[in-house]
Structure 1
Amino acid sequence: MTLSAPRQPIYLDYAATTPVDPAVAEQMAACLTREGNFANPASRSHLYGWQAEEAVENARQQVADLIGADNREIVWTSGATEADNLALKGVWEARRRAGLPAGHLIVSAIEHKAVLDPAHWLAEQGVEVTYLTPNASGRIEAEVVRAALRDDTFLVSVMHVNNELGSVNDIAGIGAICREQDILFHVDAAQSGGRLALNVAEQNVDLMSLSAHKMYGPKGIGALYVRRDPGVKISAQIHGGGHERGMRSGTLPTHQCVGMGAAAQLAADRLAEDPPRIAALRDELWQGIADLPGIQLNTDLAHTACGHLNIAFGGCDGEMLLLSLRQLAVATGSACTSASLEPSYVLKAIGLSNDLAQASLRISLGRLTTEDEVQFAIQHIRDVVPKLQRKASA
């Protein structure tokens, strides 16, 4: 059966961002106008402020519940990028203020730039940084972390789910090793919410970054989990009022906090339903194109988050591949590096050649992906790729 072309490209870039769930948008809209819960949550001298504060604290609890934390351990940020910066720079700054030496930081070589760039900055301040090489499927093995630890290691930062590959790291195992050595462990979990179960206590996590817009919440809001027992010390990176228990100043955007809380609640409620359904569609898509010549998976699907597919299309020109698959909204890599002409540093780190890395696509499915969309994607890829391969070899 031939499926007709959609009126708009089929959205298969859920790893870059997700649409706001209508139920989330409704709750956010109720916090914007004079008739709604619009007030400054720090204005504790009147009813409007109290109501806004109550809404923000309810949202904080919803985020805490998603990851098995205490609500006092949730610090609001503008997104996972700020949360990553606050974790890495904040821990280092707290050490510096305590008179401790610069020390040693461990990160994976395929972290998001929101971790790698602060790591590079810290190196300029005198911190020694070790970049861990992933295995061929994009995972950081726990024993690789153990082997890299030193007496002066103060922090390990390894993401839960890689944003390009979808590869899932054993953060509980890595966290256990760090806990044994009394070393802080930070996890960028921007891609985890609603895709994988999160429990900071069971997974031995000290600091965890979260993003609302990766789990059907709004952009511009995120959170950093900071363990309280025993307390993890971080220094604020944004000053101006001492909000968030002195860790992050700034007037809280009630509507965005409420949006992230509602999205977290939905993610928790749908955790048993969404990932298996999305994974089944993802597997169906892959099986529908797996027999095409010259293509390969860049990850091990057994250890890949439910919605991710990262595929190398051998024999294709990467730029022409993306242009020719114009009926599909897919990506060549991370949304934050999509303007770069260089091959993905993530794909290079797992051993792909420049040609294969540039001819790789990240296809990511989500809550709204349908069976018909998957079938059309299969048909479209099967129509386009062989033609490109023939043209490239002519």
Structure 2
Amino acid sequence: MQQQQQQRRSARLVLRGKVNSDSDRDNSDYDDDDDDEYRHHDDYDQKDDNVEGFNDPAYRATLRLNYINFRHAQKKLPHTVAAYVGQMASTLSEMPEPSPESVAKVIYELNELNLRDLNESGLKGVLKIHFFRQDRELPFKRHSYIRRMRLPRHLLPSNAGVADVPAFTLSRPRPDLTYGYPDRAFTMNQRSILSRLHDQIPRYAQVTYDIWFPFFAVEFKAVPELAPRGSLWVAANQCATTSAACIRAIDQLDMRLGDAGYNKHIPNLCYSLALDHNLAQLYVSWGEIKKTRPAYYFQLVDSFSLLNPEQLIRLHRWMTAIFDWGYGERLSTIRLAVDYIQQAEEQKAGQQKVASGAAKSRRPSPESSSPEWKRRRLR
């Protein structure tokens, strides 16, 4: 295993110069109710998962090679993305906040963790019980999410030029929490359309049997001194990979929408959160077409000290706003898109039926097409 990791690192470093130069060219363009766990059918497929890749020092080179780009936090967001993020930020003051007791409890228990050996399970326990829980005053009661399910590989971007080189293959992320839409969010007819979004991969936009179109992922990490593989740097690598998968699911729907004749696009952006016992980092991701191929971008939106009551409340407001968008405007847009595709399919089927009927009516009858002597005999 160690030998394979060393081979991957060596191979990455060979191409690192090329990858960095390509990435610089890409980024220069931006100067201006459920707690159910569902298991995906290929979650058991451990073949070539490259699970150690996220903490590889060269993993971000692999991300760039597969068209996933980290952007400087101080760069201006593209206009469309900035409009969505800005609109959400403008609503933060209207978002409900947790009770002072809940906030105090979180901070107290996080400080308790600092007094003893810290691990990820302890951190998850505190934040999931008191912050990421389904509580009437918190924004998760009606939301569906999955825990620790590995995302399907078909949703991960891939560079065809190095697809057969394991060292340059993206690791399959398994977020601690992934939020999306359950089957019951769609009608039976809508689910039928969704199951056929891709010609070769059924249920393409589904990360498990019951979660469609994920839009928010969370990664918990312990402090790096106690868990070398548990830094926020690693969590950001995982979030970036997961976010690209979320965007690709929407892109497939958008492609089908274009095939149906709709000339507007579905906003292909999503959010993710990386956090340890002290700090939380909120990211936005989006997709664009660069040089005739898809590219994916990942940028820090805000960071929060979890031991600061005001910043903890601000984080909660951000998350509430994200869920309001994800389960409100975004879900409505997806439903409308699926309905449009269904109507286009029905209209096309109707036109084909009419054309088929017209062709049959123009076809000569057996009597008229028979020779003259046969027609006389028929009389």
Would you say same fold, with TM above 0.5?
Answer: no
Q: TM-score, normalization: structure 1?
A: 0.23
Q: TM-score, normalization: structure 2?
A: 0.24
- Determine which structure has greater relative contact order: mean sequence separation of CA pairs < 8 Å that are 6+ residues apart, divided by chain length: 1
Give the number of the structure whose residues are more often helix, by fraction: 2
Structure with greater Cα Rg:
2
